[in-house]
Structure 1
C-alpha cells in the first residue's frame, strides 16, 4: 500500500523539444497555450512523467497487521460506541469491515463519522487487486466525505488532514496542472490541521513529505512547472526536515516511513552521519506491514550507497 512521491524525471531532450515547439508560435496567447500544452505533455507523457503524491498512511504506525478476512460488520449503537469500534477496526487493519460499518453513517452531519469514512474509502483503494474503475469511484467518494466533514466542522483537525490527502488523490485523475494547482490548497489545509492539533504526528509527516517533494525537483522540472504556473509551489529540505523531526518529537517511532524520510532528507543535505543514523533506525524498524518491509529494503539500499 505504500504510496510515495513518484518522480520520473523529464529528460533534457524532452524539455528542449517542448521549448522549441512553443518558441515557434506567434502571438502571446498562442505561445502561452502551446508552451503550456507542451509542458504538460513533458510532465505526463511516456518516460517523462511527474507525479506528485502524498503517502498512503494506511494502517499508519500499527504494531500489528492482519489481512482482512470476510466482510462481516459488527454492529454498534450510539456515536461513542460506533467510533470506538471504528477505531478498533482501523487499528486491526480491518479495512472492509471498517468501511461497511461507517458506510451506515454516510448521511451523518457529524464530522467525526465523515472524516473516518473518507479515510476508510481511501484505504480501500490501496488494497491489492483493487479494480481501476472501483478505485476511481472510491477516490472521489473519499474526497466528498472529507469535504463534507470540513463543511460540518471547520475546526476538526482530522477533517483538514484527510481533505488534503484526498484532494491530492483526486488530482491523479484530473491532470498535472490541476494537481500542481491543488498543491497550494493541500499545504494550507495541512498547516491548518497542525494549527488545530500540533501533536498530530501524521499531519506533520505529510507536510514534511510535501516539502520534500518540491525541494527535490531538479531545475528543469521547475522550469516546466513554471510554464504552467507563474509561481509554482516551492519548498526546501530544511523545511521538510523540521516537520519530520517535529513528528518524531511528538510521537517517537510512530511510522517507519518518517524514519526513512529523515534519512533521505539528511542525505539530500549532504549530512552523511545523521543520514546513516536515521536510515539504520528505518532498517531496524519492526516490519509488521507491507510498507514497513518496503521501507526496510529502501533503507538497506540507501545505506549501501552511503558506504
Structure 2
C-alpha cells in the first residue's frame, strides 16, 4: 500500500470533537494511566501472577506490532505491500493498542511528517520555544497533551487512500469493538486459565489496563523524547533523534532519526547493533509471502543521508 499523496487543497482540520467524544477520549487515556500508577503498590504486595505476566506480554507484543508494523510502517508510509487478510489483521491489531482508530492515527501521523517540528505538527515538543519552561510545556504537549485538544486532523486530506478503502472503513467504524476485545480478552483468558473471578480481575488489570497504559507511554515517548534528545546520525528536516533505551520496548520505533531521514524504509534500525523487532517481523512476512515490495534500506541512500562528522 503506497502512501497516498496529501491533498493540499483541503483544510488541515476536519472539525472539532464534541463534549461526549472528549469525555470518552479522556476516559480511555486517563483510566489506564491511573491503573499504571496503581500498579506500583499492587505489584509490591500482591495481585500479579505468571498468567497475568504472560497475558500482558502477549497482548503488548500483539498491539505494539499492530501499531509499529501496521499503523506506522504499512498504512502510514507504505513500506511494503500486503494482501487483504494481513491488511485487515494489522488494522485490528493496531486498534487494540487503543491509540485511536486506524484512519485517525494515520491521518495524524502523516500530518506530523508533513509539518514535523514546525507549525502544523500536531505533537512537536518545539512549538513553544527553546527556554526550559517552553520545552517542559512542549514535552507535555508532545507526549500526551495534544490528544486532549478538540481539533481533528482532516483524513480526507492526509489519508484519502484509507478513507476510500471499504475494509478499513469497516475496521475504523468498529473501533469500539477492538477496544472491548483488547480489555475483555485478557479477562476472559484469565478466568479460563485460573477458573476464578479473581484471575479474571487481575488479568483485566495487568494485561488490559496496565498493558494499554504502558504501551501508550512507550509510543508517546517516541513523539516527545525522540524529538528532544538522542543521536542524529542522518540528515532530516527536523529534530528527530535515535534514543536507544526505548528500542526494544518500542519494537524499533525509537530509531527515530533514521526513520525521519527515510520515512518509507521498512527498517528503522539501519546501523550495526540497532535492534528493530518490527523490521524482523516484516522480514518474516516477506519470507512467508505475505508481504511484497518491501522497501529495505539501500547503502547508497544511507550514505547520502549520513551526517559527516567533523575531523
TM-score, reference length from structure 1: 0.30
Rg (Cα) greater in structure = 1
- Which of 1 and 2 has higher RCO (CA within 8 Å, sep 6+)? 2
TM-score, reference length from structure 2: 0.30
